[in-house]
Structures are given as C-alpha cells and as structure tokens.
Structure 1
Amino acid sequence: MTNNLSVVINSDAQQVWTMLREPARIAQWHGWNADDQEAEINEIYFGPNVVEGADHTSLVVDGGDVFTLKPVPTGTEVSVTRAAIDHNSEWAAWDEDITQGWLTFLHQLRFALERHPHGKRRTFFFSVPGTGGSAIENLGLSDVPAPGDPYSLTLPTGEEISGKVWFRSNHQVGLTVHNYAEHGEGLLIVADQPAIADVRPDGGSLAIVSTYDLGAHQLDAIRNYWDKWRAENYPTSDPVH
C-alpha cells in the first residue's frame, strides 16, 4: 500500500510556495548534496513541462506529479499526487522508489521550514543492498516511539543520539537529532527499498543525514561513524558521501 503523500507544515502557503519555486531553497529539502543535485532540481521543478497554478496552490512538476497546497488551521497541508503510471515506460520499475522519494522529501521540506527556514544543510547519504538486511532493523529503529515522542538511543554506529520521532511510515523512519546541528536539531531518515528485478533483486536501504552549521571536525566524526558501520554491515556498498 502506498503511503499517504502529505504533510502539514506549520507555515503559511506563501512560505511553502517560496520553498518550491526558488532553486536554492529547494536544495535545502530535495534529495541530498550531490554533484547532479542542481541539474535534477532544474529538470524537475523548472523544466518545460512544469506548470504553476495561477493562485500558487498547485505545481505540476516534470513527469506529471502534482504538488497541492491547502491552508489548514495548523498551517499548510502539502500533498503530492502521483501521475498515472505508464507500464511501458523505462521508469515503471522505479515507480515505488519515486513515491517513497516524495514521502522523504515532503518530510525534509517540513523540517526545513519548521526548524531551519534560513539554514543551509550539509548532508551525508548512502545506499546499501538488501543482502545485508533492512537498515532500519540493523540500526535498531524498528520500535522507535510514535511521531512527536522523544527518544534516546545508542546506534550500532557508536553514536548516542536523542531528539524526537519526526515521522514513521511503512518503510521509513525519520528522527530529529540534537547533535546534528549547532543550534536546534538535524534530521536522520532511513528508508528500506523494494526489490527491482535485474537492478536491485534483494531490495535495499538508504539513509540521509541532514546537518546544520557544524564544524569540519564534527562533520568528519559523523561521516566516520556512518561509514564504518556501512562498511562492516554492507561491505559491497559505496562509501558515505
């Protein structure tokens, strides 16, 4: 079953719209730091097939998926409606990955607006094959509390982390992390991925660490914790970047 692709953000619709229409702002929540992030943002949000709603409450992005903004008493409900799948398309096998990606990015959008509206994030990312098992399970995150509740745990990476549960879904866990930001909190999202024949036959997992205003020494320490754990548990995977 597809997860509900919506979040309620404690911001007004105009603030959300700005986060959808300025490339530098989009980079604070879409995906993670990568060499091709800028090009991906330009293609998805500013390509020739993108359509802005005249009242700034809807945005059709490249590929036909639609963002909708709806004012609610606690802020703005932001939802993504997926375009109909073309089973003959080269992207058909990746349809669930795209759906799960939007869910991740919506929660990163909410976090950026509510916690670091003027901040600049620095991310770490890695993906691993499913042959080593679920990363959510291997990290001990299967039984975190309900969204909004506090947590405190020692990850098998060796890090002691605490904060609040940002969200949970069928395949993802999001946690705020105190020591991932100089002021406030950073964000950790771990997601398990479905199998894709001939591409990812055993499924897999990914993790996105979003940090804010940390020094080089702190960033290196976080990267090293994660990369050591990745290499020990998923030795065929690519390094954290």
Structure 2
Amino acid sequence: MSDRRGLKPYDVEVAVAAGRDETWDAVTQPAVLHQWFGWDYDGLGAEIQQIFVDQAVLLAPEQMGWADGSYLEVTGNDDRATVRVIREGSGSAGPERYDAIEEGWRAFLVQLRFLLDRRPAGRRRTLYLTGETTGRQALALVESPAGEWERSGPRVAWVVDTDGHLVVVAGRLPLGDRDAGRMEVTVSTYGLDDAAFETLREEWTKRWAPVAADADVTTAADPAPNN
C-alpha cells in the first residue's frame, strides 16, 4: 500500500462529445488508449497494460482506482460524458507545486477530448519533444488557425495547428514563467503514412533544436527520454 501522506491532491476533468459507455471504453480498452494516452515510445504498450489493466482496481461501475488513492470516473448520458481524475490527499501544497502525475493527466485528458470530439481518422502517431526552454518559446513554435492556446492549469496548454494536429505543451514550470525549465511537447497526428510522418518529424526537429537545450524528439521506435 502506498503512503498517501503528503501527496498533493488534484482534481482534473474534461467534458467530451461522446456517450458514457463509449467514453468508458476509451479509458479501459488498450486499443483505444493507444489513440490518446501518453506519447509513442517503445514501451507505451507495456505502460498502458500496467496502469490500466494490471494496477487499476474497479471501484464501482465506470470508476477505477490506484494504490496512491487516485481514481478515475466517467459520468454522463448517451450523448455526452465527463472524465474526472481525482487524488484526495492530506498534502497542503497549492497549484504552484509541480506534480508529474497531475500534469500528466491534464495533458492526456486534453488528448482524449480531441479524439472523442474531433474523431480523427487513422492510427495516431506522435512526436514527443523534450528539452529546456521557456513556455513562451515553446508556445511560439505553433501556428494555429484557431488562434489562442487553451489552458489546463498553469503548466499545460494546447492548440490545433494549421495541419490539424493536436499540440500539447507541458512544463515543469508555469508556462508564463520567465525562467527556462523542462518542457514536453506532444504532437498527435492521425492517419499519416510513413513518408508524411517522417517529413513532419524533420520539420519539428528543425524547429525545436534551436530553442531548447538538450533537445530530443521521441517516436515509437525510440526508448523514453530521461526525465
């Protein structure tokens, strides 16, 4: 049993344009989880199996939980649903304290909402960019017809770029901070063939390398980068 004392509590949720049953399938079925959870690297399948199958405990219909006291629940009706991830803890830290699991859920639920709301066709393939830079520089990488970035807390922002790809930026520091810190940029694409995906990887690598120290780009063939 994990020691839950001092863990930072959090409460993250998204509303999606899908019914409760379809949404529950999206958070429990590995084939669908691959379409939104995390980012591609050579251990993603094992990670999904561990988190959502081996370690998850069914607490109630359409509610699962984990040993740290966190749980995920899906509520709604046949047309719309809400996915909520909660960790109740005794920690007193406010939003200024970084918690990797909380910020991961903020980013991943954005990706789930994109999948269920936009319903992109084809297999998801991602670019996962890591390095040290400022939030301002990371957000300046993307041109979007939609304009403004949308936020999920102080450290996560997302936008759909001019090619229709979902771009999620997550920082160890708040994105408005002037100091450089570790940034993670996940570009989710759907239905690209090998040639188009390779071209996109080259374009993003050229954009990312000049603005981030220790810049790295991870795809499905690569191991996860060091945190």
Change over 3 Å in CA distance of 1:85–1:225 after alignment to 2: farther
Tell me if structure 2 keeps the 8 A contact 1:9–1:74.
no
Counterpart CA distance in 2 for 1:117 and 1:227 is 24
Conserved in 2, the CA contact under 8 Å of 1:226 and 1:240? no
CA distance in 2, matches of 1:64, 1:36: 25
What CA distance in whole angstroms lies between the structure 2 residues aligned with 1:62 and 1:117? 34
Instruction: State the Cα deviation string for residues 71-98 of structure 1 (Å, max 9, x = none).
Output: 1697111110025379xxxxxxx96111
CA 1:3–1:59 in structure 2 vs 1: closer, same or farther (change >3 Å)?
closer
Matched, 1:217 2:216: no
Partner of 2:207: 229
What TM-score, normalized by structure 1, do the two folds share?
A: 0.72
- Corresponding residue of 2:155: 171
**Richer in helix (by share):** 1
Please name the residue that 2:125 is paired with: 122
TM-score (norm 2): 0.76
Note if contact 1:28-1:121 (Cα within 8 Å) is conserved in structure 2: yes
**Same amino acid, percent of matched pairs:** 27
Aligned counterpart in structure 1 of residue 58 of structure 2, from 49, 52, 68: 52
Q: In structure 2, what is the equivalent of residue 71 of structure 1?
A: 76
* Conserved 8 A contact 1:165-1:174: no
- In structure 2, the partner of 1:205 is 183
Do 1:121 and 1:211's aligned partners in 2 also have CA atoms closer than 8 Å? yes
Asked if the contact 2:120–2:190 (Cα under 8 Å) also holds between the matched residues in 1, the reply is no
More displaced stretch, 185-194 vs 68-77? 68-77
1:111-157 per-position Cα deviation (integer Å, ceiling 9, x unaligned): 1112226642110001112xxx31x301445xxxxxxxxxxxxx4xx
Aligned AA (1:29): W
Structure 2 unaligned regions, length at least 5: 1-7, 92-96, 175-179, 220-227
SS of residue paired to 1:67: strand
The number of residues matched between the two structures is 203
Runs of 4+ in structure 1 off by over 6 angstroms are none
2:199 is the counterpart of 1:193: no
Distance in 1 between the 2:197 and 2:112 partners?
A: 22
- Cα 1:218/1:165, change in 2 over 3 Å: farther
**Alignment match, 2:36:** 29
5+ long unaligned stretches in structure 1: 87-93, 142-154, 180-184, 196-201
> How do 1:92-107 residues align onto structure 2 when only pairs under 5 Å count?
96-107=99-110
Which structure is richer in relative contact order (CA contacts within 8 A, separation 6 or more)?
2
Q: How far, CA to CA, are the matches of 2:218 and 2:115 in structure 1?
A: 22
Aligned-pair Cα RMSD in Å: 3.1
